[in-house]
Structure 1
Amino acid sequence: MSEEGRHAEGGVKYEEKEEEEEEVDNTTPGGSTAGEPPEDDREPGSDGQEVGSGGRSASDRESESEASDAEQLQEAQEAEHAEDVQVTEAGADTDLPNDNAKTHKELQETENAGSSTATVKVALVPEGHVMTVAFPIGLSIQELKRHLASELRVPAEVLQLSLDGRVVEEQQSLMELGVRPHSSTRMEMNSTDPSFHPLRPLRLLEQDSMPDVITVQVQTGEGLLKQVVVEMERPRQQKAFLGGYRHRLTGVEYHHAPTQTPAKKRPDRGVEVFSRSTQLAKTQAQQCPVDASTQMTGIGCYVSCMNDKLVTPGKYVTADEYQESRLRAVMCLQSHVRRWLATQRVDQLRRERARRLVWLEMNERRRIEEKEEQLRDRRRRWRNPQTREDFNLMYQALEKWRREEEQQINASLTGTERRAALCSLLDQETKLIAAIGRYRIAFQSNNYDKMIKSFLDKTAAPYQWRAADGRLIQMETPQTIRAKQLRDLYDDISRLTVSQEQRLRALMAVKDTVKEHECQLTQDIIDLIDREVDLMARRFKAENLEGLRRRICTLFLQFIKLPEFNPEVAKVLKVPQSPSQLKNNLLLCHSCHRYLRSTDFDVSATGQKSSRCRHCAQLDNIGRTRDDFSCYKNILRRLRAEELQLNKEAKIPFILQVEDMKYLVDTIWASRSALNKDSDLDNLVFLRWDRLRDWSPWNCILLSKQETSAHLKVEDIHKTYGTPFICQVEYKHSRGRQHFSQIPVIAELLNS
């Protein structure tokens, strides 16, 4: 390739030695090639011989040359127009006064000079390579550093420029350093961190000898020439060979070169826009993969028939036969597919059956475990009763045993033997009742200390309430502080295993506290304390002082329970201290004929209080019916919890009491499940009959725990259950509505 062709392609911006600025005169617009032959050397018509496989015709080349000439002519006209505008502005400035015109002209010249460019040759130290760049003299050295850093691919902070041996500041411009427009200057550049960021050229001189900057003379008007500094841009990749021409006389090759401006890259939209599949639904090659030929024996040509094969025609298949064979093949395929589908379905049913059997076994195991846990809990309550319900359970078991024995005696014995057996049964029942009574007395004595501690904690508890933000606020008053001090004193004197010094200290504290109030009770407490102190001084044993210490604790507890000495105890005492409250809040018990507070009587759902107090009702239950209400309490508690989750505004489950639930279970639903007739009360629960409405005695059903999950999945009751069963449930609903409509609150809900 000739020197002119290399110049057209461009090269790297580095020179091994400093070269003078190269000037290329291009007075004729449209000279886009690296070198043009003289017009005399060209032959008309076909003088230009095209080289390369991609050559074009002469008419195409002429049209491209004309287009290129038109573009350059348009650029020259725009430059000329810009100069005319500047000249017009300069002429308009002459109309101003002399000083103003002069000042305006100087400012305009300064601005034009700042936008002019100069050739800057930068020598890389210590490599010695020279970079040439056309740079506006009005910009700062910092901008020049950034430009050079992008070319060398190093940070701009490590670059240091110097002019005539002194470092140049970044804020200064080339104009301030004395560089004139369209002139050249030489500067040196080194790296402040040569170990990590050395200055190396990207392309060496031997790779490309194209200069970095050229000066081109452009014809702008009528005989006017303008020098334009052009900076050569280096290609980022090897340019493709596009063909060209070779001069017939000189032998110089001229290559087609693309423009140096890179094409605008289209943004990637994430989808394939140009695809062959959008135009071709099916691609199939039509050319045979192997070329073949045939030859037959003829005149002057012999072809051997040693490898020939005899081909006989087969049976002709009609269209109906072909369709029948296809039908048989389709039927065979369908039979195998249907067999496979049937096998898959059978396997699925088998797996579902196995899962259901496992589920049923697990539920049965859980039901047995729950039943065993209930029996263990019941036996534990029989052996060690702790609550009133535990004793009721013992009496219920006693009554059940008595009835079974009585039925057996009546069925097997008669006459004198029957009466003797009944008397023996009565004696056994009496002994069992006495044993249960002893358990009850022992339980009350064991819980006496717990009751006293709970009573004192209630009197010393601070006032509490919830703030608007949900925080719990506690407030201590002088009365609560007094109650807390008395509680601590009672705890100190009620301890048995303490040393003699601690006991004396506690007694002195109690004596100082009661000494503040003069009455017979405080005098008795002081006398007993002095007696114990005297006996302790005589070294009496602690076992001999146990009765005296119990008397001191009892009297001091009486002192604490008096509102005169402990005001906070008034809110805990059962008997109010105000006579007006005592008169309005007392009721007569018709069994024991005592006047008691209203809180000692049970309240039914109808709002009427019972004529017997709780103590008499409990004694009557122990002596007569011996019922256990714990099962009904559990049913009511579970019903309230479930309804509270479904509807927080539910009212009826919280209005009904344990006695009402007992009537609903025993009388209306006969103490058994509506479906499987299970009579175990511990396994029965109440659910909604129609799950879209709130629970009520006329919208409920009694089922076992195993049936609840199936009933909750019912969407339409009339499609799931039979008509006879629905009629039975609705009859029980009508009985519940008739009974509980007597309660005023429930009647209002029923009418609404």
Structure 2
Amino acid sequence: MESVTEAIREDGENSEKAEEIVTSAAMDVRVDVREDDNKTERSLGENSMISSDYAMPKYLTVTIDSEEGQVDAVTVAVERSKAKKPYLGGYRHKVSGVEYHHAGTMTIPKRKPDDGVIRYQRETQTFFTKQKSQQTHNNTSTQMSQTGCSVSNEDDKILIARRYETADEFHAKRLKAVIVLQSYYRRWNAMILVNGMKIDKKRRLDWERKEAIRKEKEKEERLRVEFERRMNPKTKEDFDMLYHALEMWRKDELAKIDESLKGPERKAALCSLLEQEAELIASIGRHQIVADDDRRRQNIRKILEKAASPRKWIAFDGKLTEMDTPYTIRSKELRALYDSLNMKFLTQEERMDVLLSLKATVVEHDCKLTREIVELVERETDLILRETKQKNLEGLRKRISNLFLQYIKTPQFNPEIARLTRVPHDSSKLLNDVYYCRTTGKYLPSTEFELSSNAKSMKTSRKAAQLSNISGRRQDNSLYREMLRQIRRSEEKYDDDSRLIFIIQEVDLRHLVETIWNGQSILSNHEDLHDLVIVRWDVAKQWSPWNCILLTQDEASGHFRLENLFEAYSSLFVEKVKYRHVIARNYFRRLVQFSEQATTVKEESGQ
């Protein structure tokens, strides 16, 4: 059908009749197209279309032949659709080359009458299908040998009837087979379990072996470091360890003498022991003099580097900014001159240049110190000109170096050094922070005193306490100092405002470990202090002497994993721990008062 038939809009009977005839499939339509003065007559077939170079007019006159033989002319208005029509195929004329495209009808399809059956419903669209298997009949036939038909029996099998098997016998046989399968399955599971246990055991043994090797290496390394510290002592802790080892040796020798000797022989052995002790003390003293000299040079170098270093701060863009002030530049010049003054193996001309630079630097200020330096410089210059030996000039050069160092440390000559001195030059600042040491008879700042948790006043300074320890008890607190560092590092991770651990000193921790906990693990009685740690008893509470327990490192790691202490430990063990806590609370009663006051202040500030 032609697409233009939908646009017929003629009033009257001709219009209705034309519509009925156009919708018929067997009609014959002729179209007269009038465009300007030309008249073209074309015959439209069912699947043909006007070529693309033809312009469709706005109105068409359609001639319709009715069944009665009458001819009617109908004017049809053409509606131009803006939508792009789909390509439905076509063909091309072989001779003329004209292309013909198939046309599509625009007539609305005829609607089917409603028969009252509902076809669009939920039950129809959501119908559940079912599948069911069924045994179908399969007809077969057999053939036997007879007259006129021979059947081969090569593939035939002879079946012999056996004993009839009852249902109970059948189920019993099935049960026996199931038991066999279960036994094999359980054996398979048991093999998997045993293999897993073997693997776990092997891993455990490997881990224990590695841990033993690691601990042995750590012990060897610790002994090597201790031996190195004893052979080349440098710090205060090294000399405390030497004096402690000397005291332990003296006690062992004294015990041997008391056990084996009596009378005059014992007195002679004691005198010999005293002489050996005096020689060892003198040897330690010589090492201490060398170590003090090295430490003094390091301190001088450190203070000179700090004074000559530029001022540093972080700028707004996050970069580090450095600035040299006139004071730091002055410190750099004095440091360079001091280094040149202490250089060895200089020629005579180089030494003379250094002395002239030193003289030109100190003559800027006229005082007793500078005049003495100038006098010594002139004396060394005169001796150099007299070709004096270098060995005879060592004392004079050392004196010049010490006086110039005193010149550098004077704030009037080196202003930058004022912020690095420990003692302020303003005497008014010392009035509120100076205490009297009864042992040395000196007035010292508060930083020179070391207080324990039970101390009521400042009586003995650090240096006096060190001399008293060397001459009497000769205790080594380096292990407790290291243990205290470990406890403080572990307590910082909790972030629960724990204070008491930062108040306790090495002396307090020594009393807590040796006296209250008897210097051994309460679980395994392990006595090596290198393997012991003192941790929280109740992890939820802050560390305190009455909330701690002394364990080995492995025991402490297992203690932290416990959720309920009273279920993990026996009641007798818990009572032993509580008894130690009562003793600690009585000894550190001042810390108890401080803890209660701090808790009260915290609660008031929180409210």
Q: Same fold (TM over 0.5)?
A: yes
Q: How does 1:125-140 map to 2 (within 5 A)?
A: none
The Cα shift of 1:133 comes to 12
Aligned-pair identity in percent equals 39
Aligned residue in 2 for 1:708: 556
Query: How many Å separate the matches in 2 of 1:231 and 1:654?
Result: 90
| Cα pair distance change 1:501/1:600, threshold 3 Å | same
| Cα pair distance change 1:531/1:303, threshold 3 Å | same
Q: Is residue 459–residue 483 contact of structure 1 (8 Å, CA) maintained in 2?
A: yes
Aligned residue in 1 for 2:307: 459
Amino acid at match of 1:313: A
Amino acid at match of 1:365: I
SS in structure 2 at match of 1:223:
strand
- TM-score normalised to structure 1 length: 0.62
Aligned residue in 2 for 1:661: 509
Query: How many Å separate the matches in 1 of 2:586 and 2:340?
Result: 60
| Cα pair distance change 1:514/1:292, threshold 3 Å | same
Aligned residue in 1 for 2:546: 698
Which of 527, 550, 554 aligns to 2:402? It is 554
RMSD over equivalenced CA pairs, Å: 3.7
Query: How many Å separate the matches in 1 of 2:212 and 2:467?
Result: 40
The Cα shift of 1:222 comes to 6.3
Runs of 5+ consecutive residues of structure 2 not aligned to the other structure? 12-48, 65-71, 91-101, 106-127
Which of 302, 312, 316 aligns to 2:164? It is 316
The Cα shift of 1:532 comes to 3.2
| Cα pair distance change 1:309/1:531, threshold 3 Å | closer
Task: Kindly indicate whether residue 595 of structure 2 is the aligned counterpart of residue 746 of structure 1.
Answer: yes
- CA deviation string 1:542-568 (max 9, x = no partner): 444333322221111111222222223
Amino acid at match of 1:670: N
- CA deviation string 1:665-702 (max 9, x = no partner): 11211111111111111221122222233322222111
Aligned residue in 2 for 1:341: 189
The Cα shift of 1:385 comes to 0.2
The Cα shift of 1:591 comes to 1.1
Aligned residue in 2 for 1:490: 338
| Cα pair distance change 1:493/1:334, threshold 3 Å | same
| Cα pair distance change 1:388/1:303, threshold 3 Å | same
Q: How does 1:15-414 map to 2 (within 5 A)?
A: 29=1, 76=4, 78-80=6-8, 181=55, 223-224=74-75, 233=88, 292-296=140-144, 304=151, 306=153, 309-414=157-262
| Cα pair distance change 1:401/1:305, threshold 3 Å | same
The Cα shift of 1:458 comes to 3.4
The Cα shift of 1:735 comes to 2.2
Query: How many Å separate the matches in 1 of 2:351 and 2:360?
Result: 14
- CA deviation string 1:169-192 (max 9, x = no partner): xxxxxxxxxx88469xxxxxxxxx
Amino acid at match of 2:380: E
Task: Kindly indicate whether residue 539 of structure 2 is the aligned counterpart of residue 688 of structure 1.
Answer: no
Q: Is residue 436–residue 443 contact of structure 2 (8 Å, CA) maintained in 1?
A: yes
Amino acid at match of 1:657: Q
Task: Kindly indicate whether residue 575 of structure 2 is the aligned counterpart of residue 727 of structure 1.
Answer: yes
Aligned residue in 2 for 1:623: 471
Q: Is residue 533–residue 552 contact of structure 2 (8 Å, CA) maintained in 1?
A: yes
Task: Kindly indicate whether residue 271 of structure 2 is the aligned counterpart of residue 423 of structure 1.
Answer: yes
Aligned residue in 1 for 2:365: 517
Runs of 5+ consecutive residues of structure 1 not aligned to the other structure? 1-28, 30-71, 85-131, 136-178, 184-215, 236-256, 261-277
Query: How many Å separate the matches in 2 of 1:134 and 1:419?
Result: 144
The Cα shift of 1:652 comes to 2.3
- TM-score normalised to structure 2 length: 0.75
| Cα pair distance change 1:133/1:680, threshold 3 Å | farther
SS in structure 2 at match of 1:603:
coil
Q: Is residue 218–residue 226 contact of structure 1 (8 Å, CA) maintained in 2?
A: no
Query: How many Å separate the matches in 2 of 1:470 and 1:701?
Result: 46
Q: Is residue 699–residue 733 contact of structure 1 (8 Å, CA) maintained in 2?
A: yes
| Cα pair distance change 1:707/1:230, threshold 3 Å | closer
Q: Is residue 602–residue 609 contact of structure 1 (8 Å, CA) maintained in 2?
A: no
| Cα pair distance change 1:225/1:374, threshold 3 Å | same
Amino acid at match of 2:552: S
Which of 391, 415, 423 aligns to 1:567? It is 415
The Cα shift of 1:303 comes to 5.8
| Cα pair distance change 1:563/1:661, threshold 3 Å | same
- CA deviation string 1:494-542 (max 9, x = no partner): 2123344443443333222212111121122222223333444455554
| Cα pair distance change 1:181/1:608, threshold 3 Å | farther
Aligned length: 515
SS in structure 1 at match of 2:251:
helix
SS in structure 2 at match of 1:323:
helix
Amino acid at match of 2:74: G
